[in-house]
């Protein structure tokens, strides 16, 4: 596991009765005492930066590239991700969304997308990711065995996860990560699944339900979360504008409050392969779609290649401690960093860095910028970072 500065990761398991009460919308404190961070886990720094990227979908071309980069001895995904490592690694807390299921025996498997080698989790850790959302339409591609293998691989790499579970007890847990002086709860949900749930395992994958998400956010507060971040796999695959369901759900989630304090501090959406806008809704930032960080070639609704599917953004938000006890942690800086996945080279490219080195990608960068700012986010302070 890569040592991260001032980081600690905790998994807090709520009791059955407490979880049921919270999901019913009650605000009773769990019977179990909240877990406390280890000594030194809450550094004196205070403010922190949170970075999130979109879907990582290791299709056949991505797996083949990682095999080539490993020189025929296994798979090495670190070069694929090297272009974003400087940005990811300097964040205090970095989150990804992992779409791919880990294959049997740690190697690649069949299906679409193919099951990825376990080395992918190691590359995520080496790139600087602290945690990943694992709720997606592909989570159950190989049933409960695929969930177990994927989460086992992330655990071995030291990467936290939220959104899927190997047991009912794990599903009732809250994933907490330390950043600055805050404990950040990471929740993850999908708008559907391409496969049926494993028999007797309705808890294997979190599905989007507004009431449940709000109840889970309140439960996270009860076990010590200062900041609650919700990752959602939602939205149409090739549409660069949010649909009516996304807009409605964003309004409902950001409107939820307890004692005047928002229950959710940040909504991170992905699912569309293309970037979608950012917007401040009810005073809370919503990323409708980051776009996929890594994926193979995609076609549009007419079967033609869609170059937009290779584009994405890194969402970066700086949180400052509350001005008074009981108030929320405030976002003091909101940024997006435009990226593109070079399918031919098998590399994620940071557009700011590439353009600085003379690459003719200004048009791609400006297209992403136009989309991201299309719902007025610039007026609320969103800027393009690097």
Q: DSSP string spanning 222-268?
A: HTT-SEEEEEEE-S-TT-SS--HHHHHHHHHHHH-EETTEES-SEEE
- Same domain? 81 vs 185: yes
What is the bridge-based pairing of β-strands 93-98 and 131-133?
Answer: parallel
What's the pLDDT score for residue 311? 93
Q: Is residue 164 part of a domain?
A: yes
Confidence check: pLDDT of 109 > 90: no
- Same domain? 358 vs 272: no
pLDDT average, residue stretch 105-123:
77
Rounded Cα distance, 96 and 153, in Å = 15
Q: Is residue 151 part of a domain?
A: yes
Q: Which two tokens stand for residue 328?
A: 């929320």
Q: What separation in angstroms does the CA of 141 have from each of 175, 288, 291?
A: 23, 25, 21
- Same domain? 268 vs 361: no
Phi, psi of 317 (to 5 degrees): -130, 135
Q: Is residue 183 part of a domain?
A: yes
- Same domain? 225 vs 367: no
Q: Is residue 300 part of a domain?
A: no
Q: How confident is the model at residue 41 (pLDDT cuts 50, 70, 90)?
A: very low
- Same domain? 275 vs 337: no
Rounded Cα distance, 381 and 333, in Å = 7
Q: How confident is the model at residue 386 (pLDDT cuts 50, 70, 90)?
A: confident
- Same domain? 143 vs 269: yes
Confidence check: pLDDT of 20 > 50: no
Return the residue matching tokens 């991505």: 62
For residues 374, 377, 379, 384, the Cα torsion angle rounded to the nearest 10 degrees is: -100
- Same domain? 280 vs 357: no
- Same domain? 372 vs 247: no
Question: Nearest to residue 184, comparing CAs of 83, 69, 42?
Answer: 42
pLDDT average, residue stretch 20-42:
32
- Same domain? 278 vs 337: no
What's the pLDDT score for residue 68? 95
For 218-255, letters b (16+ CB in 10 Å) and e give bbbbbbbbbbbbbbbbbbbeebbbbeeebbebbeebbe
Q: Is residue 39 part of a domain?
A: no
pLDDT mean across residues, the chain: 86
In this prediction the pTM is 0.88
Confidence check: pLDDT of 380 > 50: yes
Q: Is residue 270 part of a domain?
A: yes
- Same domain? 89 vs 202: yes
Give the number of residues written for the chain.
386
pLDDT tens digits along 281-290: 999 999 999 9
Q: Is residue 181 part of a domain?
A: yes
Range of the domain at 265: 15-24+45-285+325-332
- Same domain? 152 vs 55: yes
Q: Is residue 298 part of a domain?
A: no
What's the pLDDT score for residue 58? 86
pLDDT average, residue stretch 361-365:
94
Confidence check: pLDDT of 265 > 80: yes
What's the pLDDT score for residue 108? 61
- Same domain? 245 vs 182: yes
Q: How confident is the model at residue 300 (pLDDT cuts 50, 70, 90)?
A: low
Q: Tell me how many domains the chain contains.
A: 2
Contact 43/321 with Cβ under 8 angstroms?
no
Confidence check: pLDDT of 31 > 60: no
> 224: domain CATH number?
3.60.21
Q: What separation in angstroms does the CA of 198 have from each of 111, 124, 140, 161?
A: 18, 27, 8, 20
């Amino acid at each position: 596991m890569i040592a991260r500065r001032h980081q600690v990761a905790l998994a807090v398991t709520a009791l059955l009765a407490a979880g049921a009460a919270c999901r019913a919308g009650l605000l009773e404190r769990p019977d179990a005492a909240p877990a406390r961070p280890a000594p030194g886990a809450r550094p004196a720094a205070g403010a922190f930066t949170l970075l999130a990227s979109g879907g990582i979908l290791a299709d056949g071309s991505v797996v083949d590239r990682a095999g080539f980069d490993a020189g025929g001895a296994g798979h090495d995904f670190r070069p694929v991700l090297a272009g974003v490592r400087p940005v990811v690694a300097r964040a205090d807390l970095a989150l990804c969304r992992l779409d791919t299921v880990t294959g049997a025996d740690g190697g690649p498997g069949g299906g679409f997308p193919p099951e990825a080698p376990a080395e992918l989790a190691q590359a995520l850790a080496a790139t600087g990711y602290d945690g990943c959302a694992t709720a997606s339409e592909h989570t159950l591609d190989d049933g409960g065995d695929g969930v177990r293998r994927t989460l086992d691989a992330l655990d071995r790499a030291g990467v936290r996860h939220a959104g899927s579970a190997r047991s009912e007890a794990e599903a009732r847990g809250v994933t907490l990560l330390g950043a600055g002086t805050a404990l950040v709860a990471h929740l993850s949900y999908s708008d559907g699944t391409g496969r049926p749930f494993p028999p007797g395992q309705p808890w294997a994958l979190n599905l989007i339900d507004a009431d449940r998400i709000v109840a889970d956010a309140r439960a996270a507060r009860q076990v010590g979360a200062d900041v609650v971040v919700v990752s959602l796999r939602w939205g149409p695959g090739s549409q660069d504008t949010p649909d009516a369901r996304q807009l409605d759900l964003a309004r409902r989630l950001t409107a939820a409050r307890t004692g005047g304090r928002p229950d959710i501090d940040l909504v991170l959406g992905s699912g569309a392969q293309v970037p979608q806008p950012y917007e401040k809704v009810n005073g809370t930032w919503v990323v409708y779609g980051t776009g996929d960080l890594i994926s193979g070639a995609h076609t549009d609704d007419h079967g033609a290649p869609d170059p937009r599917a290779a584009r994405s953004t890194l969402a970066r938000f700086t949180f400052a401690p509350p001005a008074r006890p009981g108030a929320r942690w405030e976002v003091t800086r909101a940024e997006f960093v435009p990226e593109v996945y070079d399918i031919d080279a098998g590399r994620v490219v940071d557009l700011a860095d590439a353009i600085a080195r003379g690459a003719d990608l200004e048009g791609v960068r400006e297209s992403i910028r136009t989309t991201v700012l299309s719902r007025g986010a610039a007026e609320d302070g969103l800027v393009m970072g690097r």
